[in-house]
Structure formats: C-alpha cells, structure tokens
C-alpha cells in the first residue's frame, strides 16, 4: 500500500472551510484514497473515499489531483465538533493502514 503523508496539525476557524491535504506520491492505479476521522476517545469514523474523480457527500468533499499524487479533504463549514484527527489512507484492498493523521483544531 502507498504511504501517505499529512501535516501533523492544522487550525481552522469555526464556520470556515477546512482543507486537509494528503500526499500519496507512490499511489498505484488501483489504490483508493480513503479518509477517516477519530474524535477523542471514539472509534474512527468513515468520511469519504475516491479513486480518480472528485467526490462529495453530506460530510465532505474529496479533491484528487489529476496525477493522483495528492488529495484534499474539504469540510465546507467546520464546526467545533469537527475537531478530530483526520486520517488519509491509500488502499488497494490488501491492508488498511492508518498513519499518524492530521489533528484539526476548530476554533471559535
């Protein structure tokens, strides 16, 4: 599975869009990009995933670059409850590894 790199932490003002980047420069053609988040003391929560095209659901949008070497998770209107660790995973149906993630701090 491709390794992913994410910033250790990010801040975002409440009500603003949170843009979380992820690099996966060694991703292969059949690896999906998955995003999860973990709010303190809870189990990881699935957010969104995609292969090539941009994706949007009720929680977030996922923008994948054309060369698929990086992606951005967008939370359009961050709230205090979005404070969590966000994990970007490149997955080819083998082993699902969580890295260290990005700690997103949403501030009032």
Partner 1 sequence: DTAVSQTPKYLVTQMGNDKSIKCEQNLGHDTMYWYKQDSKKFLKIMFSYNNKELIINETVPNRFSPKSPDKAHLNLHINSLELGDSAVYFCASSQGQRSPRYFGPGTRLTVL
- Which positions lie near partner 1, rule CB under 8 A? 34, 41-46, 49, 85, 87, 93, 95-101
Q: How far apart are the first and last CA of the chain?
A: 37
Which residues have a Cβ under 8 Å from the Cβ of 38 and sit 6 or more positions away?
44, 45, 84, 85, 87, 101
Which of 23, 17, 7, 6 shows the shortest CA–CA distance to 82? 17
Closer to partner 1 at the Cβ: 16 or 52? 52
Smallest separation (angstroms) from partner 1 to the CB of 15:
28
Instruction: Tell me whether residue 24 or residue 37 sits nearer to partner 1 (CB atom).
Output: 37
Least distance from partner 1 to the Cβ atom of residue 108, Å: 25
């Amino acid at each position: 599975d491709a390794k992913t790199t994410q910033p250790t932490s990010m801040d975002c003002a409440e009500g603003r869009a949170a843009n979380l980047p992820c690099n996966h420069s060694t991703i292969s053609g059949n690896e999906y990009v998955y995003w999860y988040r973990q709010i303190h003391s809870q189990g990881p929560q699935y957010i969104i995933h995609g292969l090539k095209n941009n994706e949007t659901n009720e929680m977030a949008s996922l923008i994948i670059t054309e060369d698929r070497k990086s992606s951005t998770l967008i939370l359009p209107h961050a709230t205090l409850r979005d404070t969590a660790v966000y994990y970007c995973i490149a997955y080819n149906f083998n082993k699902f590894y969580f890295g260290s993630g990005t700690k997103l701090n949403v501030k009032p």
